[in-house]
Copies of this chain bind each other. A is one copy, B any other.
């Protein structure tokens, strides 16, 4: 039998390892490949022929991998461009040398573009028996076509749980202590994560990138709520911006090494406005930062199961030589009342390089949160709590493979 390669790319999430675990387990249940090679640091490490052999992972390790956040194989932000013939050819030649018929690539928008590029290149060169398969993930839920993105449900659950519990905390002092609490979530272009806080049913104001930030209107609303009930709970996306597109946290905006804007600071910017304008004398901030995408100890069971099954489905479908340039998506079943999904295939280039925003029709006026329809869409995604495997009081974790010194020898 030939081999396969699996790699991870893009920003980490709480369940991206579950997809990896699903691919490995599927190959144990129904071997299509002799070896499942894990590529280290996405396409970047594949180009350097950095591989670990995951074929015989024990069931215990597989379960632990499912509950380990981030990317056990490491990630990259390296974008394989369509005109980079040198890299494209190198991937083909490495796959040939490792007798790898399939490359599974777990990631977001950019990764689906990599899948499409590699598949197109192979087709254009008449290269047979090389398949490129995408497994989607995005905590931001900003992938189009699919019903929702693996990773979003767990992030949403953590955000809503934290909102609910922080709300308990700010309410303990007497009504005479007026206070604004600002919870900041990720979400540069899409407000899904901020909106998910509304599942807690305690959010007073929601500020997302889909609606321009009107300073006067927001401060007016906060003042009204503080006046009415002494405490005001605001949730804001890091990508909140004015009508002209300027981020409200713009003073802090800077580019990272990959040219992507590093945001954060929207809550602090809003706090500053509140204090400066005397809207309320007391303001507290909770920035969820890295925790919101790495808090796998409170995964949504629905989310982790779906992520795992996407990996299994991708593996099993890849027995078909024609299965390339595609990803496995999720769609909600419409034939039954309860929540359930179907796994199906989509051309990768239909998903790559688009962003799905939070629907404006689901946003209430005056920043007052989201509609019942939006809640009904999100609610099933946060259901269920996996049984954690603990190790001396903390969740047992897979040590990242690239730190384990277990890379296999390069093939001549």
Contact = CB atoms under 8 A, between A and B. Distances in A.
A246 interface: no
Given A290-B286, A392-B379, A393-B383, A70 B169 contact: yes
A233 to B, nearest CB: 11
Contact of A393 (B76, B199, B256): B199
A335 to B, nearest CB: 23
A74 B172 contact: yes
A308 B394 CA distance: 22
Contact of A295 (B165, B287, B395): B165
A262 to B, nearest CB: 9
A258 B218 CA distance: 28
A187 interface: no
A13 to B, nearest CB: 9
Interface in A290-341: 290-291, 293-298, 300
B169 A290 contact: yes
Interface stretch (A22-30, A91-99, A156-164): A156-164
Range of interface residues on A (Cβ < 8 Å): 35 or more
Q: How many copies of this kind of chain does the complex include?
A: 2
Nearest to A257: B177
Nearest to A378: B393
A285 B289 contact: yes
Contacts of A69: 165, 168-169
Interface in A96-131: none
Contacts of A392: 379, 383
A320 B160 CA distance: 45
A372 to B, nearest CB: 13
Max chain B C-beta neighbours (<10 A), residue from A44, A165, A290? A165
B290 A287 contact: no
A31 interface: no
A385 interface: yes
B166 A394 contact: no
B162 A291 contact: yes
Interface string A33-72: 0000000010011000000000000000000000011110
A157 B394 contact: yes
Contacts of A177: 257
A171 B399 CA distance: 10
A393 B300 contact: yes
A395 B161 contact: yes
A200 interface: yes
Contacts of A393: 157, 160, 199, 300, 379, 382-384
Contacts of A160: 393-394
Nearest to A77: B173
Interface string A179-217: 001000000000000000001100000000000000000
12 contacts: A41-B173, A70-B165, A157-B394, A161-B297, A165-B291, A165-B397, A168-B397, A169-B293, A199-B393, A285-B289, A288-B291, A298-B298
Given A165-B295, A169-B293, A383-B392, 17 more contacts: A8-B172, A41-B173, A69-B169, A70-B168, A70-B169, A70-B171, A74-B174, A75-B172, A75-B173, A161-B297, A161-B395, A166-B290, A168-B294, A169-B294, A171-B403, A287-B287, A300-B393
